[in-house]
Chain A
Amino acid sequence: MTQALFLIFGATAIASALTAVTRQNPVASAIWLVVMFFSLAGGYVVLEAYFVAAVQILVYAGAIMVLFLFVIMLLDLRSEYLEHEGKPKLPVLGVFASVLFLVVAGIALFQAIDAGTFSGTVADLDGSAGAIGGAIFGKWLLAFEVTSILLLGAILGAVILTKRRLT
């Protein structure tokens, strides 16, 4: 049952990611990406990472995607532009790089399986908000604080980059 659920969520994620990448219209692409975020959140639930799943929906499908849609509609791309997007310089090389990555990663994965890297028993893990909070505000407190500086820098960068002139 758990495995079947993961397979369903995984297949949905792959299909929606492929659809999102191949859409001509960025709005359709963003909506398909929301589908992928939701199916990945389902995968997190199957992996018993409940709080990560909740944050995935809140942050990715909520905040980041809304930001994307705002910008897409702010730019107001004309339909005549969308029709002739312009071909990439070397599309074969892009496909080649992607397939090459899959081949190399697949070889590494199967070698790791053969070597018995993953043969250990799956540990029981509490993925609830309380446990995650204890880890963040305990062991990873310094990294958490540095994260706030990163976000501050991002906010300043976004404001300065979109300003028309700095006076």
Chain B
Amino acid sequence: MIALPLASLTVPIEWVIGLGFILFAIGLLGVACRRNILIMLLSVEIMLNAANLVLVGFSRLHGDLSGQVFVFFSMTVAAAEVAVGLAIVIAVYRLRRSANVDDASDLREADYGDVPELKLEGEPKHHHDDDHGHDDHDHGDAEPDPAPEPAATGGA
């Protein structure tokens, strides 16, 4: 262990805390402004590293090793978070074929912005429109009687 000869040569704790704040703000920016879920997870890692840096700084200031032990626990939490988070990313990607968080917003409030509609199979609207157009065409014809019968048998 190399002890520094003068206390004035050591790094001021304010710099460490300031660097931690700036890194945390960058991570917050990434989480808030990016839509790629992988980059959002990376930004969370930046924020965790900022917290680790401040922990090490205070551990140095107070001469207490507990801060550095907490950094190990924080790294363990980060590893667990990455494992579970990436598993969720893979599961969502398998479902949606996309890594964009806006494509997986089914649980969001319906009245906020434009929510992608769930595509249901066999939509009734298109069928109804088709029937309506067919009806109009029949009315336009001069002879009403023979036309509906083949259409009805074809439909049945």
Contacts and interface: CB of A to CB of B under 8 A. Distances in A.
Task: Among A47, A105, A140, find the residue whose CB has the most chain B CB atoms closer than 10 A.
Answer: A47
Contacts of B53: 40, 43-44
Contacts, number: 247
Interface string B1-18: 101100101111111111
A contact patch SS: helix
A155 B83 contact: yes
Contact of A124 (B3, B32, B39, B46): B3
B13 A118 contact: yes
Contacts of B49: 36-37, 40, 60
Task: Among B7, B79, B98, find the residue whose CB has the most chain A CB atoms closer than 10 A.
Answer: B79
B61 A49 contact: no
Contact of B61 (A81, A122, A161): A122
B147 interface: no
State which size class the interface on A falls in: 35 or more
Interface in B112-154: 113
Contacts of B19: 10, 13-14, 43
B29 A122 contact: no
A37 B46 CA distance: 9
Contacts of B35: 85-88
Interface string B90-111: 1101100011101000000000
A59 B102 CA distance: 31
Interface string B67-99: 011011101111111111011111101100011
A143 B25 CA distance: 29
Interface string A46-73: 1111011001100110011001100110
A3 interface: yes
A136 to B, nearest CB: 6
B61 A64 contact: no
Contact of B15 (A6, A88, A91, A102): A6
A1 interface: yes
Interface string A1-44: 11100110010011001101101001001100100110010011
B138 to A, nearest CB: 46
Contacts of A115: none
Interface string A75-106: 10100010001111101011101110110011
Given A26-B38, A60-B75, 4 more contacts: A2-B10, A13-B19, A49-B56, A154-B84
For the complex of A and B, the 8 pairs showing the least CB-CB separation, nearest first, are A123-B63, A94-B32, A154-B80, A21-B30, A161-B87, A94-B33, A158-B87, A98-B29
